[in-house]
Amino acid sequence: MNKMNAIIRLLIVYSIFNMAFSCEKITEKSSEIYSTGKIIKITCGGTVLQFIDTDEIIGETWNNWMVPQGSPIISYSNCVLVGHIPINEFIEGDTIFIKYNKVDFFTIGGPWCAIGGLPKTLIEISDMLDSH
């Protein structure tokens, strides 16, 4: 009976030890998660990106005023402005997977013109998965 108690205690200690290191691995892995964004509008002032598949509010609601006259204005939630997307083969409607930093102004690329009506929340992409 003493041997059985010793084995049970050893298994409990091993399980606790194993769970503690498993949690650490999950934390490390979670830092490798990429955010999912949909390219809404590409302009000379930057690219409007809508974050999707997240409950976190990163950006703002953006109204696309750049529609043909008489067409309805479409609103998109959780939008940001990206100055430069590293891979230029993307088109409006594409989904991209990125890591990003919020910024006050663009240091990489940046807009080539100043047009109004774009999201005020700015991000720069720090890493991107090539989905093409």
Per-residue pLDDT of the chain (132 residues; tens, 9 = 90+): 566 556 556 545 455 545 444 443 332 333 468 999 999 999 988 999 999 988 889 999 999 988 888 889 899 999 999 988 877 788 999 999 999 999 998 887 667 787 889 999 999 999 998 765
- As for how many domains the chain has, the answer is 2
pLDDT of residue 126: 92
Indicate whether 84 and 72 sit together in one domain: yes
Indicate whether 23 and 73 sit together in one domain: no
Indicate whether 10 and 52 sit together in one domain: no
Indicate whether 19 and 80 sit together in one domain: no
Indicate whether 28 and 39 sit together in one domain: no
| Helix H or strand E segment including 31 | none
Indicate whether 58 and 99 sit together in one domain: yes
Indicate whether 10 and 75 sit together in one domain: no
Indicate whether 47 and 74 sit together in one domain: yes
pLDDT of residue 31: 42
Indicate whether 64 and 87 sit together in one domain: yes
**Nearest residue to 82 via CA among 103, 60, 66:** 103
pLDDT of residue 67: 83
Indicate whether 27 and 66 sit together in one domain: no
**Nearest residue to 125 via CA among 94, 93, 81:** 81
Indicate whether 21 and 49 sit together in one domain: no
Indicate whether 8 and 73 sit together in one domain: no
82 neighbors 96 (Cβ within 8 angstroms): no
Tell me the residue range of the domain where 115 lies: 35-129
